[in-house]
A and B are shown apart, each in its own frame.
Chain A
Amino acid sequence: MKKFLKKIFQSNLGIKFRNFIGFRAITVNLKSLEKNFSISDAFLWRTDNNFKTIINYSDILKQFFELDNSTIIIYIFDKKNKLLKIIENNNPENINKLIIEKKILNDFEGYGTFFIFHKNKNRINDSIRNSCYTGYSKNNNLPSFVHGNLMGASLPISHDNKNKLKLGIVESSFLKNNIYKIQKSFSNYDYIELFIANPTSRKIYFEINNKKYDLSIGECIIINIKKIDTITIKSNCFILRPVAFVYAGEYLDVFHC
């Protein structure tokens, strides 16, 4: 009986129930993604306000598993989760660069998320995470780089699986009672932009310093905040970590929170 209950407790359904009621919650559920999955962080790209986005990513399957002939696929979505473009790199080097600027998106000016996945004909007994480096250059100035910080979507690695991108890695709760207070003082900046993507497979609800927002599956938002000292996010998402763009005078800095 004890074994049976333990099995139910640790099953996907059990985890969903635990998360729903907030009892011994699992914040990131990789249970069905343990083998042969390519998992991507939810990355921001932006072409608004004279920004371009520089992406430096590596061939993880070659580096760690010595697999040749991988294809690295980049899915680019707009802020409302509309797929704008799929870019395939069929001949990846150990380190690769992609620049997202207006001209590669048919002059689209805006922002959204992108995900990077690694495909190979061979199956592997582990899963990998692309958490690469993105630089944000405004007015062609030096890009400010950040690494990925929040898993957002998955795709099977080998071709024998269904090739379907699945959004949502982070789990959510029924109540909006998860608090994330950014451990950073923002008081020295003129203004702040916070980029937040929905990393779950559900609609999320959140408050930033008591102002309410929501994001449907796959959606993201850049929130403008004027002079403030600290930022607290209260949500039904277990981990909601933004990327911050902070401005002082003519200078910009980007960092993950």
Chain B
Amino acid sequence: MNFFFGINNKEFLSTITIPKFQNNSKQNNEYKVFVSSIIKNNWTIEKLDCSEDKNFFFIDSKLITNEKNFFLSKEKHIKSDGKNLLEMVYPNKFTDTSPAYRASLEITKKNGGFSSYQSEYPYGMINKKSQLLSPLSTLLDVNAESNYLIFRNIFCEPEHKSFYLYIVDIYKMMVLKKIEVLTNKTNIIPIDNEFIEKKAYIFSDTFLGIPIFLSVNNGHLSLEHTHPPYHYILGKKNFQLANKLKNRIYEKIFKKNIPV
């Protein structure tokens, strides 16, 4: 099962298109779109009133904030008295597919172009804390007018907890910049050109999330996410080797206690 999310910003509009069918074409019209948001430190889940046709649900930009999560569910699978998202949302099998069940997140620049990617936030990630590592320069463009890191976290607890993302220099093993972000939010972070270099990586030592990279030039947009490190290793030791890499960087940078 997956959650979906959008991006809300003055410069861009985003829309989410959620399919009613699995990628093997099986369809189940009992599933509807629900939206979860945090109100007074509690999760509130409601059925979303959005437009639809026979194949898709269309979530318009007016329905999207940086804090809302969207997902497909049957009404009977929602438990309103749960304390956290894991207790409140039953992880249905319909959206548990391989390849992953995805929605299309498309952003449009006002008076400009558009870009999209097939997005999902796995249910299995919403109760996990771990380290995160991603290069900045593989998807951002130093020649573009502007570049953004869009960092989305969904965590099961009903709070917007502050934590830090670090831009680190993996050559000198030092922190270049400390960025405060929130859980359960799409954090939109402008990235200066000085950080779009081979040496610069994003690192989190607490919460996970999906790092998405957006470049803008002349009305044209490019939007894509990076792979988590374990993706590059095949076999049973993939997480172990990815954690070893992240721990090595963490030990060298953060245990040295370099002032930020």
Contacts and interface: CB of A to CB of B under 8 A. Distances in A.
A248 B221 CA distance: 13
B209 interface: no
Nearest to A130: B232
Contact of B138 (A65, A95, A179, A182): A95
B245 interface: yes
A234 B17 CA distance: 23
Interface bin, chain A: 35 or more
B13 to A, nearest CB: 13
A184 interface: yes
A91 B101 CA distance: 39
Contacts of A214: none
Interface string A96-133: 00000000000000000000000000000011111111
B232 A131 contact: yes
A179 to B, nearest CB: 5
Contacts of B118: 183-184, 255-257
Interface in B158-179: 170
What secondary structure prevails in chain B residues at the interface with A? mixed
Interface in A109-163: 126-133, 135, 141-147
A58 interface: yes
Given A60-B232, A128-B232, A132-B138, A179 B24 contact: yes
Contacts of B238: 126
Nearest to A95: B198
A232 interface: yes
B220 A142 contact: yes
B226 A179 contact: no
Contacts of A183: 19, 21, 23, 101-104, 118
Among A133, A144, A145, A241, chain B packs the most CB atoms within 10 A around the CB of A145
B217 A141 contact: yes
B25 A251 contact: no
A34 B216 CA distance: 40
Contacts of B237: 126
B104 A145 contact: no
A214 B244 CA distance: 43
Interface in B50-84: 55-56, 58
Contacts of A95: 135, 137-138, 198
Contacts of B260: none
B86 interface: no
Interface stretch (B32-40, B109-117, B182-190): B109-117
Contacts of A179: 24-25
B157 to A, nearest CB: 29
Given A142-B221, A144-B115, A144-B220, 16 more contacts: A35-B235, A37-B234, A39-B234, A94-B135, A133-B224, A133-B226, A135-B222, A142-B220, A147-B225, A147-B226, A179-B25, A180-B23, A183-B102, A184-B19, A252-B113, A253-B114
Interface of A: 30, 33-35, 37, 39, 56, 58, 60, 63-65, 93-95, 126-133, 135, 141-147, 179-185, 229-230, 232, 239, 241, 248, 250-253, 255-257
